[in-house]
């Protein structure tokens, strides 16, 4: 019946087992995780935000855009916070500037 019970062995030196690992050994994995999170999550998000800001500043009258709700339109007026879009002949829609997600190539809306 002794094959069900495993043997217990004592450590050779308990003080050595507690404090012998180095700083890099203890915190290296944690540091590696933060570096990986920066390159995989934080940096791409900052890059997208920078591109979005540059697109907002480059908006001009006559650009064809897509809003966050999926509305396609041509910019007719621009103010500091709002943009007026012509979504069809005679129909205009006022949206917030930050609701614009993408600028389309000119001439895209003619085919619709």
pLDDT one-digit tens code per residue, 12-47: 665 555 555 676 777 888 999 999 999 999 999 999
When divided into structural domains, the chain yields a total of 2
In DSSP terms, 91 is beta-bridged to 88
Q: Are residues 38 and 68 in the same domain?
A: no
Share of the chain above pLDDT 90, in %: 64
Please state, in angstroms and rounded to a whole number, the distance separating the CA atoms of residues 35 and 56. Answer: 31
Q: Quote the domain boundaries for residue 107.
A: 61-112
Kindly report the CA angle at 90 between 89 and 91, in degrees rounded to 5?
95
SS3 state at 110: helix
Helices (H), 1-112: 14-19, 23-37, 43-57
Q: Are residues 31 and 54 in the same domain?
A: yes
Residue 7 belongs to a domain: no
């Amino acid at each position: 019946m002794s094959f069900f019970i495993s043997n217990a062995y004592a450590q050779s030196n308990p003080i050595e087992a507690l404090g012998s690992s180095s700083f890099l050994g203890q915190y290296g994995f944690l540091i590696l995780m933060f570096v990986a999170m920066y390159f995989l999550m934080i940096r791409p998000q900052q890059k997208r935000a920078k591109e979005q800001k540059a697109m907002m500043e480059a908006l001009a009258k006559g650009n064809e855009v897509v809003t966050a709700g999926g509305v396609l339109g041509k910019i007719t007026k621009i103010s500091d916070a709002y943009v007026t879009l012509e979504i069809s002949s005679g129909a205009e829609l006022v949206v917030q500037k930050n609701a614009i997600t993408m600028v389309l190539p000119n001439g895209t809306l003619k085919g619709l």
